[in-house]
Chain A
Amino acid sequence: MTLHLINKSPARSSALNDCLSVLEFDNNSASAILLIEDAVYAALNRSSYAYLQEKIKSLAIPCYVLKEDMLLRGLHAGLIESFSIVDYAGFVQLSIDYNKVQSWS
């Protein structure tokens, strides 16, 4: 039950991809991913990150996007529908719902 915290855009970091590789290997569907800061770009629909979104879909794990960071970047729409939007209060709750929080950078 780990919440994986990703804070970099896939354009400049392999953090999300690395995290997904570990999760694939681990075969652990009890985990979740939260995209914060520049990582919110990974949730853009019709982006070149479709391969990452497919990986998340095939792992069948929840993926969340931090609302404040999304709005800061002007991403009001066009996010992948299967990703859920949470605010800071939701971020705090997720960190409690999962018993560990793993940060990737």
Chain B
Amino acid sequence: MQSFTLVVYGSPDTQAASTAYNFAQALLKAGHQIYRLFFYQDGVFNACSFNTPPQDEENLPASWQTLIQEYDLDAVVCVASALKRGIVNDAEAERYDLAASNLRKGFEISGLGQLIDGVIQSDRVINFLP
């Protein structure tokens, strides 16, 4: 069994995000472990809870949430990338006096240190570039 950190750089409407999701499913199915999912740059949009795509389209953020909760995965969103793009949790919404928070359940906001930790602790790190 190997441990992986997957770094997602693309928003849900890039294939990079779908590839990362499919890869995550395949590795879990094969009995391997995800040490961390790290959402960076436009990848933070995968952690948005306000997206409401048409019913006949895939809702990738919802799929991520299901996967994260099913396997109890550590899913980290880069704080600088997130704030810049308007993805905030309750604490950040309060700090910046915003009307609402929109971070999806299962995800947490943290810093690049968590990516470095993932690089150190995992057997493999795979970058999914848009």
Candidates A36, A92, A103; contact of B30 at CB < 8 Å: A92
Name which residue of chain A comes closest to B31, CB basis.
A92
Is B52 part of the binding interface, using a Cβ–Cβ cutoff of 8 Å? no
Task: Tell me the minimal C-beta distance from A56 to chain B in angstroms.
Answer: 21
Name which residue of chain B comes closest to A96, CB basis.
B2
CB atoms of A92 and B27 under 8 A apart: yes
Bound-state Cα–Cα, A103 to B129, Å: 7
Task: Tell me the minimal C-beta distance from B117 to chain A in angstroms.
Answer: 18
What B residues does A68 contact at CB under 8 A? 22
CB atoms of B26 and A37 under 8 A apart: no
Bound-state Cα–Cα, A37 to B16, Å: 8
What B residues does A47 contact at CB under 8 A? none
Name which residue of chain B comes closest to A98, CB basis.
B124
Known contacts A7-B16, A37-B15; decide if A88 and B26 are in contact (CB<8 Å): yes
Task: Tell me the minimal C-beta distance from A73 to chain B in angstroms.
Answer: 11
What A residues does B29 contact at CB under 8 A? 89
CB atoms of B130 and A105 under 8 A apart: yes
Is B120 part of the binding interface, using a Cβ–Cβ cutoff of 8 Å? no
Is B66 part of the binding interface, using a Cβ–Cβ cutoff of 8 Å? no
Is B107 part of the binding interface, using a Cβ–Cβ cutoff of 8 Å? no
Q: How many residues of A contact B (CB 8 A)?
A: 19
What B residues does A91 contact at CB under 8 A? 23, 26
Give 1 or 0 for each of A32-43: 1 = CB within 8 Å of chain B CB: 000011100000
What A residues does B30 contact at CB under 8 A? 89, 92-93
CB atoms of B23 and A103 under 8 A apart: no
Task: Tell me the minimal C-beta distance from A78 to chain B in angstroms.
Answer: 22
What A residues does B129 contact at CB under 8 A? 7, 103-105
Task: Tell me the minimal C-beta distance from B40 to chain A in angstroms.
Answer: 13
Give 1 or 0 for each of A77-105: 1 = CB within 8 Å of chain B CB: 00000000000110111011000110111
Task: Tell me the minimal C-beta distance from A6 to chain B in angstroms.
Answer: 10
Q: Which of A40-94 contact B (CB under 8 A)?
A: 68-69, 88-89, 91-93
Task: Tell me the minimal C-beta distance from B7 to chain A in angstroms.
Answer: 9
CB atoms of B19 and A92 under 8 A apart: no
Is B126 part of the binding interface, using a Cβ–Cβ cutoff of 8 Å? yes
Candidates A38, A88, A103; contact of B126 at CB < 8 Å: A103
